[in-house]
Amino acid sequence: MSDAEIVDRARRYAEDETEATFRDEIAGLCEREAKGERRALAELRERFSSDLAFGTGGIRGVIGGGSNRLNTLAVRRTTQGLAEYMKRVSPGILSARNLSAVVDFDSRRFSARFAREAALVLAANGIRAFLFDRLQPTPVLSFTVRRLGACAGIVITASHNPPEFNGYKVSWSDGAQIVGKVDEEITASIGRVSGPVGIMEESEALARGLLVILEEDALEPYYEMAERRVLRREEKRSRRVDLPIVYTPLHGAGFVPVTELFRRLGFACTVVPEQSRPDENFTHAPVPNPEFPDAFVPAFALAEKIKAGLVIATDPDADRLGAAVPDGKGFRLLSGNELGVLLLDYVLETLSEKKMLPARAYVVKSIVTTELQRRIAESRGVLCVDTLTGFKHICGAMRDMERKRPEYEFLFGNEESCGYLVEAETRDKDGVTAAAMTAAMAAFHAARGETLLDRLRAIHRRHGLFLDFQVAKMFPGAEGISVMRRLMEAFRRDPQALSPGERAVKVVDYLTDTARDMISGEIGSAGGLPRSDVLQVRLSGGGLITARPSGTESKIKFYASLRIDPPFDEMRSPWELEAKGDRIRSRIEEFVSRNSK
């Protein structure tokens, strides 16, 4: 694209943008470029050389003016494309649904404004918009879409991304993120929208019933559902166990629903004061991701002070959950795999003990989530279903099971990046209900005289010692896409490249839907999952190494899952497993360095 074309795109954007903040950014750059300022032209190139693409169920990007930034014009155009698709399909597959959508938002910059803009674009298209009057977690949106029988849901959030980001995520009529053909058709519909997009005035939309404001009491059905789903809730008061809990919402949407649910269930928690209130700048949580220890620094300080037995955090839209426990030296952050294993074990043990485990039941995990979950599930006669990374795929698997094998009951869903689903009424990660289940689980084990780390060791002794970890490498900018493509191509050429000295015995390529036996040479299917740029290598020792570019960030992720089957030496085996993991980490570093230049 020539410099003249870039400048022309910028000027047309400034004409169409209705938000002064973004319009003035670009108008100012255009004025400076007209005076010959090279730095202004470089900035315009960066903002207009590409478009913010709709993918992985929505759009996500840095907030600001420009075609590859998230702004009011992008929100309006995206919503217009969604609205046109909804109107086109409503006489057919959505005939039994209200032509309506639920709109939600979190604590990020412009979230409330973007949500209002989306609602009023829907109204202008004759689609009723149910708009929350305050920030709410993503799982509340999913639950509400299902409860109201809406066609779709929109949540304005960038989840756990840094403060300069925001996003726009779409759910369909079952409350799950859009996938497959629906995703493709909505993307195409959005692509056909250009120029300015109008909205309906709020007063008119309210008067015509095309805008409905959902107030605090709209959460009551969600609370009632969550209370029912928390196992052993009726035992809480009889156990008489003191388990001080520290909670941080990381300046996000979890504060009210998590503390309210805890209050109803009888769990006392102390909220980290400096991270308790919504803050678009994430002043005390610059990395608002409960996967990382840095997000827990204030929480750990408070937990040490009050001698807490459990520390939990939800991310800004409260769909992810992180948890930490005392380890004798301070607090140890449980990985997403470890907490998922503990929750699955707790759910299945409780249902078995109470003779409530269904004869036919299933759990769902992503292909990069620990295989320890499969062993736990199958030891109880429960089916373990694998799917691609991302909760849209986990909920898609639930949809498929309901259609093809309705006799099976869903019990649990997990992906290793701190996403958990402990109930079927929501079709997205649910950090709120999972937080309550985690508190109930920790209290239950404490009443039995064991910590969550004790329980984790007992699980390993029975099912095997597992080590699961991830190495992520950032490659921002346009060149980053090419670098990640080269890395994936190099791994496909040499699937032995990351092995710690063991032979690669099977290579599964989800992009081509092939599984190649490296010993016999036989080639079969990868399992019929949707095609995705993921390569997984199984090692002779039973381990797995997986590589995939992220769907939401400019990074490539390498996952390793290693194991030692029982019985094993509890002193020596953990050291051996860690040493093998260190060799894989070194191989990844060498591989990336060699192939990214």
Which pLDDT tens digit goes with each residue over 175-210? Answer: 999 988 888 999 999 999 999 999 999 999 999 999
Q: Is the peptide bond between 567 and the residue preceding it cis, with omega within 30 degrees of 0?
A: yes
Considering the entire predicted model, what is its pTM? Answer: 0.93
pLDDT at position 382: 98
The radius of gyration of the chain from alpha carbons, rounded to an integer in Å, stands at: 24
Contacts with 505 (C-beta within 8 Å, 6 or more apart), sequence order: 517, 518, 519, 538, 539, 540
Query: Quick check: is 159 catalytic?
Result: yes
Measured CA to CA in angstroms, residue 375 lies from 363, 367, 461, 469, 479 at distances of 12, 14, 12, 18, 41
d(CA 10, CA 14): 6
Q: List the one residue out of 114, 30, 26 whose CA is nearest residue 70.
A: 114
Tens digits of residue pLDDT in 419-474: 999 999 999 999 999 999 999 999 999 999 999 999 999 999 999 999 999 999 99
Give the residue ranges of the chain where pLDDT is below 50: 94-96
Where would I find the beta strands (DSSP E) of 374-509? 383-387, 409-415, 419-421, 465-474, 504-509
pLDDT per residue as tens digits for the range 82-115: 999 999 987 655 444 569 999 999 999 999 999 9
Q: Which of 100, 111, 159, 171 is catalytic?
A: 159
Q: What is the pLDDT of residue 596?
A: 87
- Residues facing residue 59 across a β-bridge: 168
Q: How far apart are CA 48 and CA 76, in angstroms?
A: 18
List the domains of the chain with CATH numbers: 1-49 (no CATH), 51-214 (3.40.120.10), 217-463 (3.40.120.10), 465-595 (3.30.310)
The Cα–Cα gap between 114 and 380 comes to: 46
- Closest of 268, 90, 76, 75 to residue 172, by C-alpha: 90
Q: Report the residue count for the chain.
A: 597
Rounded to the nearest 10 degrees, the angle between the axes of helix 372-379 and helix 452-463 is: 80
